[in-house]
Amino acid sequence: MYRLTQSQPEFFRAVFKSLWKELGGTLARDVASGTVAPNASAIVWHDSRPLAEQIRTINKQSNNLMATLVLLAVGAETNGKGATVATAESAATQILIRQGVNTQGWRIDNGSGLSRDARVTAEGLASMLQVIWRSNYMPEFISSLAISGVDGTVRRRLRDDEVQGRAHLKTGTLRDARALSGYVLGASGKRYILVSMVNDSRSAAVRPFDDAVVKWLATR
């Protein structure tokens, strides 16, 4: 369980100063928050791993912070530097609409789903999974989903022989809310799209039902 005991600016300041000191650096002045000057020059930069690799960590382990950063990156790539959650949400929504995804009733909010304001419809999510299935990057996306009974957030579920390894799934969990979606490979060789969402104070009770549906699809 991870908990941040300081605010983000305070935490960054403390970690940066500690690492800078370990590397032999000194600071003539303290670290302060502010706006980057237009004439500032980059001293050093770091290129992250490709998105195809990053999303495996994000989806398999449900890393909410990284998901939000991906949303902001979409906003920055679309509208330029200075992306906010609101502008990034608008950019992501427009991209989904252009790809044929029905986003009516959606509210992406912070990008991770860890929000009481976020909204998504089962029909829209299913259409998004269909679009992904037909896309050039389908293998990379599917490989980022947790494999039933094998890894990620479903490694302790769906371990029976008839279903283990036959479903690629993404879980969603909040108090009074449970969701499960992804792809299930049936015994016939047909691939099924699964979307299950429950909003209720007893939503945790849906897990056996969801597992039963995945097992049923795996035997079709």
Residue among 100, 142, 107 nearest 121 (CA): 107
What does DSSP assign to residue 204?
A: G
> Domain residues of the chain, as ranges?
50-120, 145-220
Q: How far apart are the C-alpha atoms of 88 and 25, rounded to whole Å?
A: 36
What does DSSP assign to residue 213?
A: H
Using one digit for the tens of pLDDT, what is the confidence trace for 128-170? 999 999 999 999 999 999 999 999 999 999 999 999 999 999 9
Amino acid of residue 178: R
Q: Are 124 and 101 in contact (CB under 8 A)?
A: yes
The pTM of this model reads: 0.82
Per-residue pLDDT band for 34 (boundaries 50, 70, 90) equals: confident
Using one digit for the tens of pLDDT, what is the confidence trace for 100-114? 999 999 999 988 988
Using one digit for the tens of pLDDT, what is the confidence trace for 54-102? 999 999 988 998 999 999 999 999 988 888 999 999 999 999 999 999 9
Q: Are 202 and 194 in contact (CB under 8 A)?
A: no
* Three-state SS at 68: helix
Phi, psi dihedral angles at 119 (to 5 degrees): -140, 145
Q: Are 133 and 190 in contact (CB under 8 A)?
A: no
**Cα distances (angstroms) measured from residue 181 to each of 30, 31, 124, 129, 154:** 47, 44, 12, 9, 12
